[in-house]
Amino acid sequence: MLSWIGANIGTITVCIVLAVIVALIIRNMINDKKKGKSPVCGGKCGHCPMSCSGCGGKRR
């Protein structure tokens, strides 16, 4: 088992780093959602090219 880990340490490290990055992105998206920010237009509905469909039609 240790020889397998030693032979694949680079791949394991990259996978762990990518998993941490994805987890941080998801956490940031959840926090933004709780704060009411839209992932589509960033909450600036006046400048939204999508007619604020991501904001639920709310004008700010």
User: Tens digit of pLDDT for each residue in 6-57?
Assistant: 999 999 999 999 999 999 999 999 998 888 776 666 555 666 665 555 555 5
Are residues 13 and 24 in contact, defined by beta-carbon separation less than 8 angstroms?
no
> Which residues neighbour 46 within 8 Å (Cβ) at sequence distance 6 or greater?
59, 60
Domain ranges of the chain: 2-55
pTM over 0.85: no
> Which residues neighbour 14 within 8 Å (Cβ) at sequence distance 6 or greater?
none
Are residues 48 and 60 in contact, defined by beta-carbon separation less than 8 angstroms?
no
